Structure 1
Amino acid sequence: MWSRLCLFSRSTPWYCLSAGLFTTGQSKQEAKVNEVMPNSSKAKMYLQDISSDLSHSQLIKNASSTTVDAASMLLSQSAVAIIAVYDSYTKSINDLVELLKLHAECLGDESAEDDLWQVIIQARVEVDEKVKAVQELTGLLNTSRKVLENAAEVAYLAGCEYSAITANEKLHTTHVLVENARLSSQKMESELAQAQQHDIEDVMNLEDSKNKENSKDQEG
């Protein structure tokens, strides 16, 4: 059973709403209800019955199209964010690679090595932070992609084929752009691994040279 709602208003004696019917002199399509808020201010609420204007099929199409637009915007912003982080991550790795190359040139100069190694440590911290950011945004991107995929399916079932096609195009475009950014960072990761390996080898070779010299001095 529908509850009866009665609100007092200064302009008219009573407004009564029962079983979804407006009993005031207002139209069936719109009713204005004065509502007392906690801060004593009054807000106006408009109730509108639009089922007589549009069919349920058209309403569903409109809603599905709006949902696709919102989901598409969410995916776009998620993709832009992760691409920006990938680009920053790639740059940080490149900076670290250059520092490792410079470190090889400083081997033997303990003072320069120590100063440079502090910079390398800080660069590695920044790289690790970018990795965490990529991981977090990857989860958001994957969820946003699923949201748009579901919205596209609903749009297709609702007969809104254009929205479904648009959603699929956005899914493909964002995938390509994000994948390109990921591959660029992956390429730099390979270069970093090589630079680290070379740095380790250079340090070991320097140590071997020192040990050999010490051995010769002891023998002499």
Structure 2
Amino acid sequence: MQAFRNCGLCASGNLFKGRTDFLVARRNMSVLRVSAACVQLLKDKTNVFCSSPVHQRLLRLARSKAVAFSVSSGLCAVPFTQVENLSHESLIRRASCLVTDSANTYLSQTTLALVDAHTQYAKALHTLIALQKRYITSIGKLTPAEEDSIWQVIIGQRVEVSDRLEECKRFESNWMNAIHICELSAEAAYNSGAEHACTATKTNLQVAQSKVEEIRKISREAKKKLAETKAEEIQRMAEYVSSIDINDLEDIPEAYLRED
């Protein structure tokens, strides 16, 4: 810029000093050409600087600052909502929502435990049914040792069925408590004005009761099949005893004569 000023001053001073002097005019033309060259050089330097990566980064930084300023200015103009007044009614409503959340968690856990217990109980029953059917088809065909071995397995399976049934009863008690707690929490939520929490709890109650009823039905069907198998076993045993000679009763294994 200093060179540009000097060139301009030289041109203005020498151009108007003497117009009649040819040599002076010729020298002034030289000065003009030098000044034009200076201007072109400065223009080229300016274009190079504007196209450089540094200049581009400066432009992006300036734009981002401008956007940030506009966003912050917009946020300042947005009115924020005030926090709900902590009145007794609002605190009770919040507490009732917390109670329903805890009750729903308790219900879901006890329902899952009860469904799993009934599932294992039904599996144990079906295993016992299969053993009983195998025993029925083998009456009169096994040796005393084989007979005793089968009965040991059947007795062990009956113990497992009994344990699974006790587990079902224990989880049934917990599940009934969860049902009662959910009903009370739903009523409390409704009375406090938390209708959404009340509706959600009632929906969870219906789903839990539906699932438990389905698995109970499976267990009842398995127990019914076991009773039918027992009746079939008794009938088959009576037919076998009536088909042999009375003198051979001493040779009948003890397993056939026991009452189950």
Q: Which amino acid aligns with 1:65?
A: C
Matched, 1:174 2:218: no
1:190 aligned to which of 208, 214, 224: 224
2:123 aligned with 1:91, yes or no? yes
What residue is the counterpart of 2:160 in the other structure?
126
Give, in angstroms, the shift of residue 212 of structure 1: 5.8
* Letter aligned with residue 54 of structure 1: L
d(CA) in 1 for partners of 2:173 and 2:245? 50
Q: 2:133 aligns with which of 88, 95, 101?
A: 101
**Who is 2:37 aligned against?**
none
Deviation at 1:169, TM superposition (A): 0.2
Structure 2, unaligned runs of 5 or more: 1-83, 250-260
**Cα offset for 1:112?**
2.0
Q: Residue 55 of structure 1: CA displacement?
A: 1.1
Distance across 2 between alignment mates of 1:112 and 1:106: 10
Q: What is the alpha-carbon distance in structure 2 between the residues aligned to residue 124 and residue 202 of structure 1? A: 20
Alpha-carbon distance in structure 1 between the residues aligned to 2:230 and 2:248? 27
Q: Percent identity, please.
A: 28
| Counterpart residue number, 1:208 | 242
**Secondary structure at the residue paired with 2:245?**
helix
Q: Which residue of the other structure, out of 194, 202, 214, is the alignment partner of 1:160?
A: 194
Q: In the aligned structure 2, how far is the partner of 1:72 from the partner of 1:100?
A: 42
Larger Rg: 2
Could you tell me how far apart the structure 2 residues matched to 1:127 and 1:77 are? Answer: 23
C-alpha distance after superposition, 1:47-73 (max 9, x if no partner)? xxxxx9511111111100010000000
**CA deviation map 1:148-181 (0-9, x unaligned):** 1000000000000000000000000000000000
Per-residue CA distance 1:105-151 (angstroms, 9 max, x = gap)? 22121332211111000100111111111111111111110001000
State the partner residue of 1:71.
103
**TM-score (normalizing by structure 2):** 0.61
Structure 1: distance between partners of 2:240 and 2:234: 10
Match of 2:169 among 113, 135, 142: 135
Q: 2:150 maps to what in 1?
A: 116
Q: Output the amino acid matched with 2:94.
A: N
What is the CA RMSD across the aligned residues, in angstroms? 1.6
Aligned to 1:199: 233
Comparing 64-73 and 107-116, the one that deviates more:
107-116
Distance in 1, matches of 2:195 and 2:219, equals: 37
Ranges in structure 1 where 5+ consecutive residues have no aligned partner: 1-51, 216-220
Note if 1:62 corresponds to 2:94. yes
How far 1:208 moved relative to its partner?
1.3
| Alignment match of 1:81 (pick from 102, 113, 130) | 113
